[in-house]
Chain A
């Protein structure tokens, strides 16, 4: 399964990559890292990810806009939102747009792994 990580923080991109590569998620390979929604769209066109972790607060194109654009382009993409915006209405809005899961920042490695397993099980 092909994973794209979308987050404006290098620390978060690296951390998610490490969690994915370090165990328990051996069927997932990181195929793209994007710093904002616009970059994510370009990378998704080239790499066709099955799974995407998506931050919401980003420059240029935010996560909500990016979810809409990505799913229009590749409707079967499984999107896991990973965001600090932890109010219920944000999570509901993301899920209504078609995201499959939501992880609040800060998160533990285990929380992320479980959420990725959930999202990829739907696939």
Chain B
């Protein structure tokens, strides 16, 4: 197993920037990108996509309800129930995971998203030192956690 290199990890930073820019017209501010050493504290709504094939691991998107509500309102969505917020965060994880194939190749297999409510949801899924991207969009914090390895 091999951990990802910097340019492979950067694709997730670019991808999350592009997601907000294209979907809302407003780029997020990337506030940090680091290798987590302490336990990770997420937000209430989590979308997780699992990788298999040429890579193993997950990409996790963790967002608070307020951010997701604003994102849905911008798309003229009127259903702001928790179920729909979970659907939205799952779709964002699916988009970031799917977009990674452009750089990482079609050998990267992607699961349908798993959605978890509760800030502890993200903790159970990650290993000790995942790569974490924190961001703010429309004054709201969020994080993307990339925990994957290349298979030989």
Q: Which residues of B contact A76 (CB under 8 A)?
A: none
Contact of A24 with B by CB under 8 A: no
- Cβ of B102 and Cβ of A87 under 8 Å apart? yes
Contact of B112 with A by CB under 8 A: yes
Contact of A18 with B by CB under 8 A: yes
How many residue pairs, one in A and one in B, have C-beta atoms under 8 Å apart? Answer: 64
- Cβ of A85 and Cβ of B110 under 8 Å apart? yes
Q: How large is the interface on B (under 10, 10 to 19, 20 to 34, 35 or more residues)?
A: 20 to 34
Which residues between 57 and 78 of chain B lie within 8 Å of chain A, taking CB atoms?
Answer: 72, 75-77
Q: How large is the interface on A (under 10, 10 to 19, 20 to 34, 35 or more residues)?
A: 20 to 34
Q: How far is the CA of A83 from the CA of B95 in the complex (A)?
A: 8
Distance in Å: Cβ of B22 to nearest Cβ of chain A: 4
Interface of chain B, helix or strand or loop or mixed? Answer: helix
Q: How far is the CA of A86 from the CA of B18 in the complex (A)?
A: 13
Contact of B94 with A by CB under 8 A: yes
Nearest 3 CB-CB pairs, A to B? A84-B98, A9-B91, A87-B101
Interface residues of A (CB under 8 A from B): 8-12, 14-15, 18, 57-59, 83-87, 89-90, 104-108
Could you name 13 residue pairs across A and B whose Cβ atoms are closer than 8 Å? A11-B75, A11-B91, A14-B79, A15-B75, A15-B77, A18-B75, A57-B94, A57-B111, A58-B112, A86-B99, A86-B101, A86-B102, A87-B102
